[in-house]
Amino acid sequence: MSVFGLVSGIAGFVKVRFLQDKEIIDNAVFRFHYRVTSAILFLFCILCTANSLIGNPIDCLVGNEFKDKEKVINTYCWITSTFTLPRATGEIGTHLAAPGVAPLDSSGNNEPVYHSYYQWVPFVLFLQGILFYMPHWFWKSWEEGKIRNITDGLRGPTIDISETKDSQKTLVKYLVDTMHFHNGYAFSYVFCELLNLMNVVGNIYFVDKFLGGIFLTYGTKVIEFSTMEQSNRTDPMIALFPRITKCTVLVYGNTGTIQDHDYICVLPVNILNEKIFIFMWFWFILLSALSALTLFYSIIIMIYPPLRKFVLARRFRYRVPNGISSILEKAQLGDYFVLHLLGRNICVTVFHEILNELSEVLHDYKPIM
């Protein structure tokens, strides 16, 4: 299957919807996790395994002696991992074939660093894609289609408002009858927002551990590298994802003597890997900041009820302060959360009518505690 065929398989996963009656049960930052980030990670996973894009993931220069064994040597070096000598110094092209590619030092002062992570990159990316989808899966399971059911017939800007009166009355009755019974619903959502933040921060440290403790400072080093003078800089992407490495193959001779063959190997896959992980670094940092701000906002809404009045008034342009006050005086966090989701799913005119009717009903209503 071609790369484009594989990529088209995850196109539906992004779910860029233009359906006017599709319910909204979360915010944009939440969707960045399970819709955008998961899709990006699955796309990267496919690209890493697409031979038509990068060719062979490894090509070792075996020479004429073992030319007929080239595929075997490539497979051997891919499975056993290649290495570089990070402390090797000298001019590229004169003393070194490439950064970290030099003869082995028998003194032990330049220990080789083995690179085996590239074998696991597709699996790690796939696992991360699943992890970023899990909080949404939990929230969707706990939400159980509540917003879809209670806003049926009211969603979308093209609905005929004159035909929604019965649906509005039914919705208002539901809100009154279930007053103070939505707190668990709201806390489940905030918990899933916390899971999102924990997941993205956890993935940063997971990738850092996977890449040998270099990922945390990877992006900052790349930025520093771009500002250095050409003669004094060492590309951190090449240090982490070397394009040229070495591989030692032990071959038994006719008399049983072990023959040590040292090969230079080219890793085209690392050209793609370095771009993937530098993008991931910046995206994860941005997503962590957005997730932290969103969770902080949710916590403030929980502990500071007066802010809820401001949100309903400004966010949904509701100009009846007394109506909001009469609702929020009797409403708890879960009730406000449901109203907030209703405002995001119902057109402004219908939502204002629902708030007006709800405030009238709640004027002398005493909900069951």
User: What is the number of domains present in the chain?
Assistant: 1
pLDDT digit string (tens) for 205-223?
Answer: 999 999 888 888 888 887 8
pLDDT digit string (tens) for 49-71?
Answer: 876 556 678 888 887 767 777 88
Q: Is the residue at 103 inside a domain?
A: no
Domain that residue 159 falls in: 3-81+116-362
Q: Is the residue at 311 inside a domain?
A: yes
The pLDDT assigned to 254 comes to 64
Q: Is the residue at 91 inside a domain?
A: no
Q: Is the residue at 257 inside a domain?
A: yes
The pLDDT assigned to 1 comes to 46
Q: Is the residue at 108 inside a domain?
A: no
Q: Is the residue at 90 inside a domain?
A: no
pTM to 2 decimal places? 0.83
The pLDDT assigned to 13 comes to 53
Tens-binned pLDDT, residue by residue, of the chain (369 aa): 455 555 555 555 555 444 456 788 999 999 999 999 999 999 999 888 876 556 678 888 887 767 777 888 888 888 888 887 776 666 665 666 667 677 766 555 667 778 777 888 999 999 999 999 999 999 999 999 999 998 887 876 666 666 778 888 899 899 999 988 999 999 999 999 999 999 999 999 999 999 888 888 888 887 877 665 554 456 667 777 888 888 888 777 666 667 777 788 888 888 888 889 999 999 999 999 999 999 999 999 999 988 888 888 877 777 766 778 888 888 899 999 999 999 888 888 888 888 888 888 887 655 555
Sheet containing strand 113-115, strands side by side: 59-61, 258-266, 244-252, 82-84, 113-115
Q: Is the residue at 102 inside a domain?
A: no
Q: Is the residue at 93 inside a domain?
A: no
